[in-house]
Structure 1
Amino acid sequence: MALSARLLALRRSPVLLKLPPYLSALCILVGLGWLLILPLNEYSRQTYISENAILPGQVHTYFGGSEHNVFRAYRQEVYGLSERSDHERIAGLGSVMREQGLKVANQSYSWHVAGEEISGTNVSGLLKGPRADATEAMVLMAAWRNFEGEINYSGVALALTLARYFKRWSIWSKDILVLISEDSTYGPEAWVSAYHTTSIVPTASRNISSLPIKAGALQGAVALDYPAGPWGQRFDKLDIAYDGINGALPNLDLFNTAVQVASSQMGIGCSLHNLKDHSDSYKDRLKTISKGLITQSVGHATGPHSAFMPYHVDAITLKTIGDGWHDEMTLGRTTESLFRSINNLLEHLHQSFFFYVLMNTNRFVSIGNYLPAAMIIAGSFSISALALWVQSGKPTPSEGTKPMRPGEKRKQPGMTVVKDGKNVALVPKEDLEVVERKMFIPAAVVLGVHLAGFIPLYLLNHVDRSNLPYTFITLTAATVILPQYLARHFLSNLPPQQICTIQSLSLLLLGATLSTLSTLNFSLAFLLGLLCSPLSFVRPLPSLRFSLEQSTRYVSVDDAAGIAANLAVVGPISVMFVAVSPPVVLWVVKGMFFGSAGAEGMLVEMARGWVAQGVWTGAVIWGVWWPVWVVGGSVLWSGCWRRPADDE
């Protein structure tokens, strides 16, 4: 047999055409298994400092002694300010900074989200470095209220104490900005956005005043989260928060410097994601990776440092946890040593990793090792899309392949001659035929459904808070009904080739989007790929539609058994498919992470993230995941409304 004839025969081989679903399932399992082997030592590395100029922990720290009395005095003053009005508190913080010799500026801001106003005032001070040329700066910040909403008594007091202490030193080659923000999310966002903008035009959703005092390019930022009350409280460990908005990460050198200074120089244990007891076992490493994936995929701020990531400013938050023997002086010396390390930098942090997955404070996985996990899962959708594309080019079953009626003779399939040099082969004509694909309707369907995804995105970000739960319930119901409507009134009337083309274009777009997203936010791409994995195996369900003649005539026992069998297949598959729809998954997330806050709390946080922080997770959910699920549901239920083959 000639080679070309064999290839043509292989192209239409039933065995080959049955492989794509198994290959897609294999890709999903391999991608998930790839993530599960990352905690092993063979696939991870010990952390190390790439930038030799940082010299972490190589200096002697002098913070202590009389500074302890200054800190306690400031803590009492902060406690007194907490019992006064906001105007008096802001004036009091500014007065303290002016007494230290800092240039002080206030910045007011407000956001309008979900019918509510988020407003506040930041207080910042500038410490001019004696050896600085106003081209580079560092940021020391402490939010008035931390991420949990507690007043950051000791954190604010320690920031003020360190500002007074830093003012007496002549070693600084960079300016130091001291920021006391109103909260841990929107205050830093307003401050850093104004810092990198010459003029901010007020809009309907935000009104941010400009900063009258600025310095050079920000080289790093460190936030202090130490909410111990007016009488103080010792702590056990430092939890280092490093996740930024949309999964952005600081340069690994900054994180390693903080760990090196705290653990090696000061003897403070460090942790991640509030996991205090980490035995460095496979289970604990996997738990740390899982928490990191969830946090980064959500994309919201995890502390005051998160707002700096979109502006390419490396930042972390030092948060005290537990009850131990370390006190504020230890944290102060840690911060001093960290700032002196950043002060040594001759250029912006760039030599270490910006994309990594941490398993504990001294072990990480680089992008080259973890990225294939998301890429392989994204590839499973491309495989399914290509298989459907090939299937869409196949001709409809000919008369010879239809079920034979009693007394009917099957016609022989047409044959064609294929020549390859001196070799001649007879190949069935159907193996060489390719049906012309009509692309307009499939492309219009896919494009229209994706554009419709902006409707829930707009509603959930602009509806008042009190109406958000009702809007979400309506969207959940519409999400379930829309595929049924499209399947019954539109897709059931299309030829099977066009239905295959619609599904192929949808999966191809999903695979391309996840491949691109995995390089920007690996966690979001990986989890979204797992949630969308059932879409690769969606095929039209058995028909449940009967003509008027059938419904009026007597239904035999065999017909009734067929109807029951089809219902037994359609029912469970439909329930499982609805269970992985975006609204249902969000309802589950609400129950797991928002508890008493309910759907309203979850939706408000999502709206705040979109409007105030620029989080694109909502756009991915409603602009990528939701349309693909709707298209998949329309294809799935299109078979239910199609006439049985015998009636056509």
Structure 2
Amino acid sequence: MALSTRLLAFRNSPVLLKLPPYLSALCLAIGISWLFTLPLDAYSRRTYVSENAILPGQVHTYFGGSEHNVFRAYRQEVYHLSQQSESDRNAGLARVMTEIGLKVASQPYDFTVAGEGINGTNVYGLLQGPRADATEAMVLMAAYRNSNNDINYSGIALALTLARYFKRWSIWSKDILLLIPSDSVYGPQAWAEAYHHSSAPDATPYRNISRLPIKAGALQAAVALDYPAGPWGQRFERLDVQYDGINGALPNLDLLNTAVAIASGQMGIQCSLHGLPSSHQHDSYTDRLRTLAEGLRSQAAGHATGPHSAFIPYHVDAITLKTVGDGWHDEMSLGRTTESLFRSINNLLEHLHQSFFFYILLGAGRFVSIGNYLPAAMLIAGSFTVTALGLWAQSGQAAASVGSDAGKIGTTSGKEKSEGFEVVKVGGDVALVATSAIMKRVERKMLLPAVVVLAVHLLGFVPLYALVNLPRPYLQATLLTIATSSLVLPLIVSLIVVRSFQVEKQQLQLLQSFSLLLLGAAMSTLATLNFSLAFVVGVLASPLSFIRPLPRAGEMTVSKKLDLWTQRAVGWTVLQSMVYMGWVAISPPAILYEACWFLELDVEHVLVEVAKGWNAQGVYTAGMVWGVWWPAWFLGGVIAFSNVVKDDVKQEEQKAVR
């Protein structure tokens, strides 16, 4: 009985209500530190192939010899076609595919983004496998222009040579589709979208995608070749394996491991990730951490990194093999690697499923599984939730006067002390009074905070709509207008809420609690879909958990020490200015400008890519920024500059006097 009384007393203790900020800071510190432990051997594993049927590198490759002459002839053909118009070039590619013996078709597409038209034509052909039943297929891609906007001379020539070479083999139990899109992003996006619709996709003012005249079975995997050597060829040093999909989606790890095992183990070609040096040579903690950081940056952006990215959202495992550097490997090495990779995929009896779909690569031969890296984002999301729950608890309690909450407990003599309370003899009775303020429950006024939170989150769709729909010449000015108005609007909203609705301290606590609760729920949900975006946004928004209303400077009359009043006023002005500058520095527009400056990127180019990603690729990063992060930051400003801190005890005493 005594223990339960003490626990109930501790539950109402003001000390307990002061713990959430410290717990939130602890969760944040552990979450960030957790990420730095992932490159250690104890938290990561070496890659391995889970699907036994793949048998990577177990076949003898025959691509070579006379195929080298065919490749050089096709490369010259691609060079001559590049000098012609787009329609003539597509007709020439279709003619070459027809001569190989493929069923050929084309697909025009048109996207309108930021007032600019993105159009082109995908040329593709179908190689029907001699042992196939038209239920499964593989895709071999080579975009006309790669992600760097370079003409993919050798990549297209090698794809055509491989298609001609594959046509002579009778081992294929799956159909092979040869796809040559006009670019490396929107062409594959239009083709993959049309392939996975039973009818033509609906045309909108922003997208017009034609249906595919020829289709095969369910796509098992896709491999893209990015070999932008000039018309006279160039050897390469290593292969960069690109695997990031749209919105941070990833292919099955078995496909990537198979490509690395074949290239490095069978062909002796070094492999790297994100354009970084091969981790097989420098497998230090720093190299792993750098690869991890590049992976987080790429996946958080959510945009396509190559022709493979458009296929992953449709559960088609895809990668891009990109040649890097100047070394001693030639097109025959890449051709044999691709041949061995396709023969491994051809061995599959079912879709890739045994390995990981959620992972972080620390190098071409090392990875971290979801069970090891997910707690980092969950702890950061939990820091928002802890603060929100603490504010909710504080909003339901208020300090009460001793006289109203002192209770008679009996009759005794002398003076006794209990933990947190003091037993005092009053006349013939004994009263239990608190040595600190006694907390009592109060009714919460939730309507105004809920309306403000909902209104601000709806307001976030205004900058989102403007930045993804306005023409390109207006994007940079629009962002500047949004950034400027974002610095003023929270102050105006704070002034309106405080003066018009006579907001109380409890309502400010509820306002911040609702905001942080939504932010924490969004981050924890997003962490399972796109860990990188959830972690990055969570870290950037973490200061919002520690924002509190700034108290006013002490009000004094002129007769009471004018110098002291001036010192206090100046002190609070400096404090408010510092808080305001810090609040501005963590705003989403400011972070965007800071990131562009640090990465040496053009702001207008970034805004155009964001608009293209939203309208053409379905990238939801902009939605998370303006629909979740920006409203939380906006409401943090409303809280910080509300300039209202009311003492509930004084309010109760004033009401009692009246």
TM, length-normalised to structure 2 = 0.92
Matches of 1:70 and 1:523, distance apart in 2: 44
Aligned to 1:252: 253
Describe the SS at the equivalent of 1:52: coil
Q: Which residue among 575, 579, 588 is the counterpart of 1:573?
A: 579
The code of the aligned residue for 1:351 comes to Q
1:263-313 CA distance string (max 9 Å, x none): 000000000010125300000000000000000000000000000011000
Task: Give 1:413 deviation, angstroms.
Answer: 5.7
Superposed, 1:339-354 pairs within 5 Å as 339-354=342-357
Q: Which residue among 405, 412, 423 is the counterpart of 1:414?
A: 405
Aligned to 1:310: 313
Classify 1:358/1:90 alpha carbon distance in 2 versus 1 (closer, same or farther; 3 Å). Answer: same
Classify 1:432/1:640 alpha carbon distance in 2 versus 1 (closer, same or farther; 3 Å). Answer: closer
Task: Give 1:569 deviation, angstroms.
Answer: 1.4
The code of the aligned residue for 1:248 comes to A
1:144-182 CA distance string (max 9 Å, x none): 000000000000000000000000000000000000000
Q: Does 1:537 align with 2:537?
A: no
Task: Give 1:591 deviation, angstroms.
Answer: 1.9
Describe the SS at the equivalent of 1:54: coil
Aligned to 2:4: 4
Q: Does 1:592 align with 2:602?
A: no
Matches of 1:150 and 1:554, distance apart in 2: 75
* Cα RMSD after superposing both structures: 2.2
Q: Does 1:384 align with 2:387?
A: yes
The code of the aligned residue for 1:454 comes to F
Q: Which residue among 620, 634, 641 is the counterpart of 1:637?
A: 641
Aligned to 2:466: 459
Q: Does 1:609 align with 2:610?
A: no
1:553-603 CA distance string (max 9 Å, x none): 8971111111011112111121111100011001112223353xx221111
1:471-515 CA distance string (max 9 Å, x none): 100100111111111111214630100110010011111111111
Superposed, 1:201-212 pairs within 5 Å as 201-212=202-213
Q: Which residue among 498, 509, 513 is the counterpart of 1:500?
A: 509
Classify 1:243/1:425 alpha carbon distance in 2 versus 1 (closer, same or farther; 3 Å). Answer: farther
Q: Does 1:442 align with 2:449?
A: yes
Contact 2:494–2:641 (8 Å) recurs in 1: yes
Classify 1:471/1:42 alpha carbon distance in 2 versus 1 (closer, same or farther; 3 Å). Answer: same
Aligned to 1:283: 286
Classify 1:302/1:553 alpha carbon distance in 2 versus 1 (closer, same or farther; 3 Å). Answer: farther
Contact 2:505–2:646 (8 Å) recurs in 1: no
Contact 2:108–2:210 (8 Å) recurs in 1: yes
Describe the SS at the equivalent of 1:506: helix
Contact 1:5–1:427 (8 Å) recurs in 2: no
Task: Give 1:640 deviation, angstroms.
Answer: 6.7
Task: Give 1:432 deviation, angstroms.
Answer: 5.6
1:498-541 CA distance string (max 9 Å, x none): 11001001111111111110000000001111011101101011
Aligned to 1:408: none
Classify 1:535/1:324 alpha carbon distance in 2 versus 1 (closer, same or farther; 3 Å). Answer: same
Superposed, 1:87-486 pairs within 5 Å as 87-197=87-197, 198-278=199-279, 279-395=282-398, 397-398=399-400, 412=403, 414-416=405-407, 426=432, 431=438, 433-486=440-493
Q: How many residues align?
A: 628
Classify 1:76/1:555 alpha carbon distance in 2 versus 1 (closer, same or farther; 3 Å). Answer: farther
Classify 1:53/1:436 alpha carbon distance in 2 versus 1 (closer, same or farther; 3 Å). Answer: same
The code of the aligned residue for 1:615 comes to V
Contact 1:21–1:384 (8 Å) recurs in 2: yes
Matches of 2:447 and 2:258, distance apart in 1: 57
Matches of 2:229 and 2:445, distance apart in 1: 68
Matches of 1:580 and 1:170, distance apart in 2: 61
Superposed, 1:553-572 pairs within 5 Å as 556-572=562-578
The code of the aligned residue for 1:448 comes to A
Contact 1:137–1:215 (8 Å) recurs in 2: yes
Task: Give 1:205 deviation, angstroms.
Answer: 0.6
Describe the SS at the equivalent of 2:157: helix
Q: Which moved more, 1:442-451 or 1:61-70?
A: 442-451
Gaps of 5+ in 1: 401-410
Matches of 2:101 and 2:561, distance apart in 1: 93
Matches of 1:138 and 1:506, distance apart in 2: 47
The code of the aligned residue for 2:230 comes to G
Describe the SS at the equivalent of 2:48: coil
Describe the SS at the equivalent of 2:177: strand
Matches of 1:540 and 1:418, distance apart in 2: 40
1:423-469 CA distance string (max 9 Å, x none): 99946597462111011111111111111111111010111110111
Task: Give 1:15 deviation, angstroms.
Answer: 2.6
The code of the aligned residue for 2:123 comes to V
Describe the SS at the equivalent of 1:149: coil
Aligned to 2:426: none
Matches of 1:340 and 1:183, distance apart in 2: 27
Aligned to 2:526: 517
Contact 2:397–2:439 (8 Å) recurs in 1: no
Task: Give 1:641 deviation, angstroms.
Answer: 9.7
Matches of 2:340 and 2:431, distance apart in 1: 80
Classify 1:125/1:600 alpha carbon distance in 2 versus 1 (closer, same or farther; 3 Å). Answer: same
Classify 1:642/1:94 alpha carbon distance in 2 versus 1 (closer, same or farther; 3 Å). Answer: farther
Aligned to 2:423: none
The code of the aligned residue for 1:566 comes to W
1:217-250 CA distance string (max 9 Å, x none): 0000000000000110000100000000000000
Contact 1:491–1:499 (8 Å) recurs in 2: no
1:300-331 CA distance string (max 9 Å, x none): 00000000011000000000001110000000
Contact 1:245–1:615 (8 Å) recurs in 2: yes
Aligned to 1:403: none
Contact 2:245–2:302 (8 Å) recurs in 1: yes
Task: Give 1:212 deviation, angstroms.
Answer: 0.2
Contact 2:505–2:644 (8 Å) recurs in 1: no
Q: Percent of pairs identical after alignment?
A: 62
Describe the SS at the equivalent of 1:237: strand
Contact 2:116–2:472 (8 Å) recurs in 1: yes
The code of the aligned residue for 2:218 comes to A
Describe the SS at the equivalent of 1:490: helix
Contact 1:542–1:570 (8 Å) recurs in 2: no
1:388-425 CA distance string (max 9 Å, x none): 01111122x55x5xxxxxxxxxx756313689xxx999
Classify 1:386/1:96 alpha carbon distance in 2 versus 1 (closer, same or farther; 3 Å). Answer: same
Classify 1:354/1:497 alpha carbon distance in 2 versus 1 (closer, same or farther; 3 Å). Answer: same
